[in-house]
């Protein structure tokens, strides 16, 4: 269920302000969207694992549960890209799709993080 809410928030964001990130006229903004997704994914997933005390291989399963709803829905959304995202040019649909693949891949990669690594770096960074 959490994966659905993350997907809904991200989709609503791109529905209402995506034209500022995915524009061929401003390639630096598009590159920025690709770069910005890295810390956003970390910030939105790692705390979930910690709050729910998910450790070990359960993190990978949790990451799959987070991405699966969005991936299934986006398979349909991308087919109707022009109707669902009228604020985005049809020329950027492939960039949007590649950004989605990057975001989903990054979420899956967070499933491989070790709780001790995350906890240790969080403690050390606060000193």
pLDDT, tens only, 38-66:
999 999 999 999 999 998 889 999 999 99
**Structure tokens that stand for 108 in this block:** 């899956």
**Structure tokens that stand for 112 in this block:** 């491989």
Q: For residues 94 and 100, what is the distance between their CA atoms, to the nearest angstrom? A: 10
Q: 1 pLDDT band (50/70/90 cuts)?
A: confident
Q: For residues 46 and 119, what is the distance between their CA atoms, to the nearest angstrom? A: 10
Identify the residue with better confidence: 117 or 102: 102
User: What per-residue confidence (pLDDT) applies to 43?
Assistant: 94
The answer to whether the beta carbons of residues 22 and 92 sit under 8 Å apart is yes
**Structure tokens that stand for 71 in this block:** 């991936």
Stated pTM of the model: 0.84
* Averaged pLDDT of the chain: 89
User: What per-residue confidence (pLDDT) applies to 113?
Assistant: 86
**How many residues does the structure list for the chain?**
127
């Amino acid at each position: 269920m959490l994966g659905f809410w993350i997907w809904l928030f991200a989709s609503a964001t791109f529905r209402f302000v995506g034209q500022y990130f995915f524009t061929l006229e401003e390639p630096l903004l598009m590159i920025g969207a690709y770069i910005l997704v890295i810390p956003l994914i970390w910030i939105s997933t790692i705390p979930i694992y910690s709050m729910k005390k998910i450790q070990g291989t359960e993190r990978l399963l949790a990451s799959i549960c987070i991405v699966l709803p969005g991936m299934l829905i986006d398979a349909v959304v991308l087919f109707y890209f022009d109707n669902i995202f009228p604020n985005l040019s049809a020329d950027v649909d492939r960039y949007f799709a590649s950004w989605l693949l990057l975001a989903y891949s990054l979420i899956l990669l967070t499933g491989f993080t070790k709780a001790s690594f995350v906890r240790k770096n969080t403690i050390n960074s606060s000193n």
